[in-house]
Amino acid sequence: MRFEVSILGSSSATPIFNRNPTSQLLNINERLFLIDCGEGTQLQLLRYGFKAQRIDHIFISHLHGDHYFGLIGLLSSLHLNGRTKPMTIFAPHGLQEILEMQFNYSQTSLRYPLVFLPTDHTVSGQIFENSDMQVETIILDHRIPCTGFKFSEKKRSGKIIRAKVDELDIPINYIPLIKAGQSFTDKEGNVHPASELSEESNKPRSYAYCSDTVCSWSYLEQIKGVDTLYHEATFMHDMLLRAQETFHTTALQAGEIAKRAEIKQLLIGHFSARYRDLIPLLEETRSVFTNTQLAVESQTFVI
């Protein structure tokens, strides 16, 4: 099953040095999920060949402008391009009021329904589920209410070994039982366990998105053992006091978080406009956690 994240924006606060404000597109089994929607997100979708009409769910971490100022433009363009199917938005409750005010003053009546599901920044919980995956919130520690999001695959049933099915002449209607772990008894009375007739499915994967947050360690258990973690790394560690004042994380701290959470792959982003060259931030993070990559525009990472 396809499970990958494409980076649309990696900058904090303002677009600079060809870096756009934060936005990511997650592809899970050909279903697209937009995570944050900074200024220019719809242009980035066009630039990298993604069809915005395929997005049905948008997740907004918090209401600082660099994480949602692109949303009104994206929703308006979908309206102008004839969208009729609903768009579901998971976000802090104030976003609904902001968007309704903008549409009201522009006398815009969307052709499609907006479904708002407010997030709770005080307690983690499951906010979405379909046949392939589920989404939980991650409680972050920022200057205003902010949540991250954890996307987890569901465990799939084992893959039937076709040669065994043909050899034993197993009825088609019995195959779901084997996938569920039930053994099969052939005509001679021999019992064949499900492990002999099917292959173990791949281990479910997970992606955690940790938007703006100070390094408080409070969310370590929520991201423990994920396959890929995106974590903000706004400043280098020589700017630790500034990071703490603004409720952000340093590159070194992002590496320490990844190491302590025992994750497999770390992506860092949300870089301050003070840094034109991002290699020093990457090197600082890798000094603690080697398997780190820069989450920069146009890059796609397989989970």
Active site positions, annotated = 66
Instruction: Tell me how far apart the alpha carbons of residues 258 and 290 are, in angstroms, rounded to a whole number.
Output: 10
Residue 227 contacts residue 151 (beta carbons within 8 Å) = no
Instruction: Tell me how far apart the alpha carbons of residues 29 and 272 are, in angstroms, rounded to a whole number.
Output: 33
The closest of 300, 129, 137 to 208, measured between CA atoms, is: 137
Give the three-state DSSP class for 267.
Answer: strand
Residue 209 contacts residue 232 (beta carbons within 8 Å) = no
Q: What is the chain's Cα-based Rg?
A: 22
Residue 89 contacts residue 116 (beta carbons within 8 Å) = yes
Residue 82 is given by DSSP the state T
The closest of 68, 41, 263, 56 to 146, measured between CA atoms, is: 68
Instruction: Tell me how far apart the alpha carbons of residues 287 and 148 are, in angstroms, rounded to a whole number.
Output: 25
With residues binned 3-state (H G I as helix, E B as strand, rest as coil), the percentages for the chain, rounded to 5, are 30, 30, 40
Which tokens belong to 197?
């007739």
Which tokens belong to 274?
């003070």
State in Å, rounded, how far the first CA of the chain is from the last one.
11
Residue type, 98: I
87 DSSP β-pair partners? 114
